[in-house]
Chain A
Amino acid sequence: NAGVTQTPKFQVLKTGQSMTLQCAQDMNHEYMSWYRQDPGMGLRLIHYSVGAGITDQGEVPNGYNVSRSTTEDFPLRLLSAAPSQTSVYFCASSSPGRGHEQYFGPGTRLTVT
Chain B
Amino acid sequence: AQRVTQPEKLLSVFKGAPVELKCNYSYSGSPELFWYVQYSRQRLQLLLRHISRESIKGFTADLNKGETSFHLKKPFAQEEDSAMYYCALKLGGGYQKVTFGTGTKLQVIP
Contacts and interface: CB of A to CB of B under 8 A. Distances in A.
* A and B co-occur in one complex: yes
Nearest to A49: B95
A101 B86 contact: no
B105 to A, nearest CB: 10
A42 B103 contact: yes
Contacts of A99: 49, 51
Interface in A21-50: 30-31, 33, 35, 40-45, 48, 50
B69 interface: no
22 contacts: A31-B95, A33-B97, A33-B98, A40-B102, A42-B6, A42-B100, A42-B101, A42-B102, A43-B103, A48-B97, A50-B95, A90-B43, A92-B44, A99-B49, A100-B90, A101-B46, A101-B49, A102-B88, A102-B98, A104-B45, A106-B43, A107-B43
Interface in B83-103: 86, 88, 90, 94-95, 97-103
Contact of A43 (B9, B51, B95, B100): B100
Given A42-B86, A42-B103, A43-B100, A100 B36 contact: no
Interface residues of A, number: 24
B101 to A, nearest CB: 6
B32 interface: yes
Contacts of A45: 97-99
